[in-house]
Structures are given as C-alpha cells and as structure tokens.
Amino acid sequence: MTPVHAIVAKELRSYFVSPVVYVVGAVFLLIVGLLAYLYIVFTGAQAIQLMQVQGQAQINLNDLVFRNLFSSIRFVLLITLPILTMRLFAEEKKLRTFEFLMTSPISLNEIVAGKFMSVFLVFLGMLGLTGLIPLTLSLFSDFEWYPVLTGYLGLTLLGALFLSVGLLASALTENQIVAAFVSFGLLLLLWLLAGLGSLLGDTTAGQVISYLSFMEHYDHLVRGLIDTKDLAYFCSALVLMLFLAHRVVDSDRWK
C-alpha cells in the first residue's frame, strides 16, 4: 500500500463515518431523480399532445430528457460538490493534523493527489448511481446511448474540475464555510465567463473568455461531440487547479 493509497483509504473512511457524504449524496440523487422525473413527464405530456394533434409522435428522448437533464445537473453539482471538498485541507488545519501530515515522509504531490482522488471517487459513486435513470429508461423506450455516454464523460470531467476548484479553496483557509463559499464564488465566476464571452461576441477577447469558461466545452460533450480541444481544456484546468492547491499548501509552511 503506497502512501497515496493510505491517504485515499483514510479520506474515504473519514467521508463515510461522517454524515456529510450521506446528506450530500442523498440530496444530489433526490434532486437529479426529481429533475429526470419532471423532464420525462414533460416529454410524455408533449408526446400525448402530438399524438392528439398529428395522430403520431416522434419523440427524441436524447434531446428532450438527457440534454435538459445534463444541463440541469451542472447546477446541482455546483451546489453540492463544494460541500464535499470544503473539509479536505481546512479541517486538517483547524484540527492541527496539518502539521502531522506535512511532517510525514510523503511528498506534497502525494497528499494533494490522494485527497483529490478520494473525493473524486466519492463523486464517481454518486454519479454512478444516477446511471439508474438511463438504465431504467432504456427498458421502456429507445434512445441513443452514445450522446448519453459522452454526456456522462462531460459530467465526470466537469465534476473533476469542480472538485479541483473546491480543493484549492479548501487549501486557502482553515474555515470550512469560507472554503465552500470561495469555491461557489470561483465556480460561478467560471460559469458567468461564458455569458461575458457571448456578450463580447466573435472578437478575440470574446473567444478567449468563452474558452476559459467550462460551458461550451461541456455543451459539446453533452451534444455528443468529443473534441480534443474540450478534453484538453478540462485536463489543463484540472492540472492548473491542483498545481495551485499544491502551491498554496506549500506556502502555508512559510507563514
């Protein structure tokens, strides 16, 4: 068992003995399930209307259910994931275990990687459970799996990005509430960059700003487009956030 494994195992243990994961997971699944239910019922109502008017109905579940659902989950993730990440470093500092961790014979890379991987696994578990929605739906209807799967890839990457931002926020403070708010703020800022970008239109500045936001990259994946440009965006943003978190934690030793 390498030190990274040890940290992942310990962090997972800490998550699952505290109520946080259960509460966050339950709320996340409840809201996602409710959203899916609403979109499905809404689509069904549309289908019935079309049947009455035209006598037949061609309903595209991919467009009407999954794309809407994937767009909405973004917001649910923005609210729930900072609650998962806020404790990662802030709690260590508050409870004075930070010094212990930093004087253990492991590198800071391993600490940051271990912490990120643990919360990422928790997130994957939560996301995995939402897989029941398309699975159940596939029993009763036909839809294309490909855009659903790319949508899940998008969600995975988006979640990883949100978690890395949360990790950075947690490294900045020893107060968990502050950490959560800082990550809300940063994520909303990243979100709103898309709006600013489209306001500036097709200028270079507009394009650059739009590129910095996760919105268009995520939308491509939800629409079933896998573009290396988007994958590169998520990977580089993730690495940048983890690197910044690493620097912040390291600089704490000098204070």
Partner 1 sequence: MIDVQQITKRYGQHTAIDRVTFSVAKGEVLAFLGPNGAGKTTTMRILTGFMPASEGTARVAGFDCADQALEVKRRIGYLPETPPVYQELTVDEYLQFVGRLRGLTGSALSSAMARKVERLGLGPVLHRVIGNLSRGYRQRVGLAQALLHDPPVLILDEPTVGLDPKQIIEIRELIKSLAGSHSVILSTHILPEATAVCQRVVIISGGRIVAEDTPDQLSARLRHSEKIALTLKRAPAEAETRMRQVPGVQHVYANGPTGSFMVECNLGQDIREEVARLAVTNNWGLVELKSISMTLEDVFLQLTRHEEGVSQDTVSANESTAATAAGNAESAI
Listed residue (58, 219, 69) closest to 133, CA to CA: 69
List the structure tokens of 75. 């917001």
Measured distance CA(113)–CA(21) in Å, rounded: 20
Q: Which is nearer to partner 1, 101 or 121 (CB)?
A: 101
User: Is residue 109 part of the contact set for partner 1 (CB under 8 A)?
Assistant: no
Q: Which is nearer to partner 1, 6 or 117 (CB)?
A: 6
User: Is residue 12 part of the contact set for partner 1 (CB under 8 A)?
Assistant: no
Contact track, partner 1, 140-179, x by CB under 8 A: ----------------------------------------
| CB 152, CB 146: distance < 8 Å | no
Q: Which of residues 82-101 bind partner 1 (CB under 8 A)?
A: 95-97, 99-101
Q: Write down the least CB distance from residue 18 to partner 1, Å.
A: 6
User: Is residue 247 part of the contact set for partner 1 (CB under 8 A)?
Assistant: no
Q: Which is nearer to partner 1, 38 or 102 (CB)?
A: 102
Cite the beta strand spans of the chain per DSSP E.
none
User: Is residue 106 part of the contact set for partner 1 (CB under 8 A)?
Assistant: yes
Q: Scanning the structure block, which residue is given the tokens 């212990």? A: 100
Q: Which stretch binds partner 1 (CB under 8 A): 2-10, 26-34, 41-49, 230-238?
A: 2-10
Measured distance CA(162)–CA(200) in Å, rounded: 25
Which residues, other chains included, contact 238 with Cβ-Cβ below 8 Å and sequence gap of 6+? 157, 160, 161, 164
User: Is residue 5 part of the contact set for partner 1 (CB under 8 A)?
Assistant: yes
Q: Write down the least CB distance from residue 252 to partner 1, Å.
A: 9
Q: Write down the least CB distance from residue 97 to partner 1, Å.
A: 4
Q: Write down the least CB distance from residue 132 to partner 1, Å.
A: 30
Which residues, other chains included, contact 125 with Cβ-Cβ below 8 Å and sequence gap of 6+? 25
**Considering only residues 14, 71, 72, 207, which one is a binding residue for partner 1 as defined by CB under 8 A?**
14
122-132 residues labelled b (16+ CB within 10 A) or e (exposed): bbeebbeebee
User: Is residue 1 part of the contact set for partner 1 (CB under 8 A)?
Assistant: yes
Q: Which stretch binds partner 1 (CB under 8 A): 6-14, 170-178, 216-224, 233-241?
A: 6-14
| CB 11, CB 113: distance < 8 Å | no
**Considering only residues 46, 49, 60, 104, which one is a binding residue for partner 1 as defined by CB under 8 A?**
104
Q: Scanning the structure block, which residue is given the tokens 């492991």? A: 106
Residue 215: burial class (beta carbons within 10 Å; 0-12, 13-18, 19+):
buried
Would you tell me which residues interact with partner 1 (CB under 8 A)?
1, 3, 5-7, 9-10, 13-14, 17-18, 95-97, 99-107, 253-255
